[in-house]
Amino acid sequence: MVKNCITASCVVFKGAKVLLHRHKKLNKWLYPGGHVDENEIPTDTAAREVLEETGYRVRLVGARPLGFRGDENAVEYPMPIATLFETVRLSTGTHMHFDLVYLGVAEGERAAVSAEESQDFVWITEKDIDTLDTFGNMKAVLRYAFSASRGMVQ
């Protein structure tokens, strides 16, 4: 049975580098992300997953086309840089992830990461993308993230 899921991910920058972790089930380098929990909004999911999977707090950045900061009825959040419908094949079955991918900036020092999460991390530059053991769509998003981050990531 195929399971459809809404997920949120974050390409995390620190200067001109991006943080990746080796996913324990997929054994590939990925940016952090995961399933949107009940009563959670995708931007909160992206920030939570970054903290859980890497130990970093993250500030999400991105376009806000309306320039709208909010009133009593609505607040404009940073837009994802990509929206992907991904097929994820696991030993437990196939998941279809509708993934909202955000840009973020790591803030502060890295905290400890739970033993259930990956303990294998790497900071990469744009030049490292082609050498990564990851999926093609991941490489495409990383290339775009480096391009999109110029002027947005401080």
Average pLDDT over residues 65-77: 84
Min mean pLDDT across 26-30, 101-105, 143-147 is at 26-30
Q: Which position has the token pair 């974050």?
A: 10
Q: How far is CA 73 from CA 41, 45, 60, 76, in A?
A: 16, 22, 22, 10
**Predicted pLDDT of residue 82:** 95
Mean pLDDT of the chain: 90
Q: Is the pLDDT of residue 48 over 60?
A: yes
Hey, what domains does the chain have and what are their CATH numbers? Answer: 3-149 (3.90.79.10)
